[in-house]
Every structure is written in C-alpha cells, then in structure tokens.
C-alpha cells in the first residue's frame, strides 16, 4: 500500500490478525484476471486465494501433501476410465507400461528394458515374448553387436500405442467441468512438473 492507496501489484487481505498484503501476486495473475483481489474480514477466509496468502515455510510440506492428496484422489476416482481403455484394447497394465517404453524406430536392448522396468532378465524376456505373440513388438539384430537383440514396436504395436495414449490422456470429466480461469491456473501450477521422458516408474511383473 503506497501513500494510503493500494498498489495495483499488491494482493491485499485481512485476517483475524489484521490486514495482510502479499507483494508477489503471481499465483493470482498467471494467465488470469490481471486485476488484484482485495480481501477483507467478510470474505478472506472463504476465498481460495487466502490459503496462498497464509502459506509460510512451515506450511510448505503440509500444503504439498494436501495438494498431492487432491491429485491422487482424482487419479484413483478416474481409474475405471483407464481400466476400460485397457480392457477395450485387450491389454494389461504391465503390457501398457511395456508398450510405453518402446517405439518403432529406436530399439531397446533387453538389458535396458529390464533396468527400466526394475525386473530381472527372465521377467523382461517373458514380457517381450507376450508382446511378440500379440504382434505388438519384435526383436531385431543389433547393428553393432550381433549377439544382442533390439526390441521395437511392430506397425500394429505403434498403432495400438498411439490409440492407447490418446485415450489415456483424455481428461477426466471433473477436470473438464472446471471453469476456464481455474483450469488455466491449474495448468500454470503443474507446468513445472511436466515430465516428457520415457515412463520409468513402476515394475513389470508376470
């Protein structure tokens, strides 16, 4: 607040302890209404932004845990939709993980796949054998080591993988029901968590 007038770059609120001013209003301003929010005792505690205003270093872990709980619960609630996609394509979760690790161009050695899937060589071999029987993957001779084999997707495997990822990446209904402002705010908040590398979590079991 400057000279008795509110600075337009401030986020102003009032709690039981008195007026609250947050200079860094990025959480409100990213992609949303550029006008500041003014909160007073009548609306401070009921407004979602008040929670951000109150965060301190001591609250950080608790806030992270609560945020993750919301995201995780959404994943759990939307699981039936993902299970239906796998059932329609006749795939198990482990086969999905295996397909996600492969493509039609860059082959992967069995040793690389076993390391990524966090399983032993025999389990990796069993998994690739299943993909071969389904005509989703094939083994090719390594171009520089004829003792090794590279696993790649077949044309059918590449098509199934594309269809599978397209269906699994469809947003759940609850996300689509958010208004544009909340959806934009959520997109900005999770952008630093984007992970474009191959899926490297979870194990592949029989």
- CATH assignment at residue 159: 1.10.10.10
Q: Are 75 and 90 in contact (CB under 8 A)?
A: no
Domain span at residue 24 reads 1-54
How many angstroms separate the CA atoms of 44 and 51, rounded?
A: 9
151 membership: H or E segment, kind and range = strand 149-153
How many angstroms separate the CA atoms of 167 and 81, rounded?
A: 9
Last residue of a domain, one of 12, 27, 54: 54
For the chain, the domain total comes to: 2
| 179 and 78 both lie in a single domain | yes
pLDDT in tens, 162-182: 999 999 999 999 999 999 999
pLDDT in tens, 87-141: 999 999 888 989 988 988 888 988 899 999 899 889 999 999 999 999 999 998 8
152 membership: H or E segment, kind and range = strand 149-153
| 90 and 168 both lie in a single domain | yes
Q: Give, in order, the Cα–Cα distances in Å from 195 to each of 32, 102, 178, 190, 192.
A: 24, 17, 23, 11, 9
22 membership: H or E segment, kind and range = strand 18-22
């Amino acid at each position: 607040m400057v000279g008795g007038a509110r600075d337009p770059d401030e986020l102003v609120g009032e709690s039981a302890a008195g007026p609250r001013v947050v200079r860094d209003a990025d959480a409100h301003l990213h992609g949303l209404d550029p006008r500041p929010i003014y909160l007073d005792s009548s609306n401070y505690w009921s407004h979602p932004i008040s929670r951000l205003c109150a965060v301190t270093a001591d609250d950080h872990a608790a806030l992270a845990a609560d945020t993750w709980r919301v995201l995780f619960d959404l994943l759990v609630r939307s699981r039936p939709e993902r299970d239906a996609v796998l059932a329609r394509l006749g795939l198990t979760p482990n086969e999905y993980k295996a397909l996600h690790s492969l493509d039609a161009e860059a082959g992967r050695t069995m040793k690389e796949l076993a390391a990524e899937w966090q399983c032993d060589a025999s389990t990796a071999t069993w998994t690739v054998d299943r993909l071969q029987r389904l005509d989703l993957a094939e083994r090719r001779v390594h171009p520089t080591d004829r003792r090794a084999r590279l696993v790649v997707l077949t044309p059918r495997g590449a098509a199934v993988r594309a269809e599978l990822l397209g269906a699994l990446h469809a947003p759940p209904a609850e996300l689509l029901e958010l208004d544009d402002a909340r959806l934009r705010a959520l997109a900005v908040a999770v952008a630093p968590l984007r992970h474009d590398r191959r899926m490297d979590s979870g194990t592949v079991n029989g």
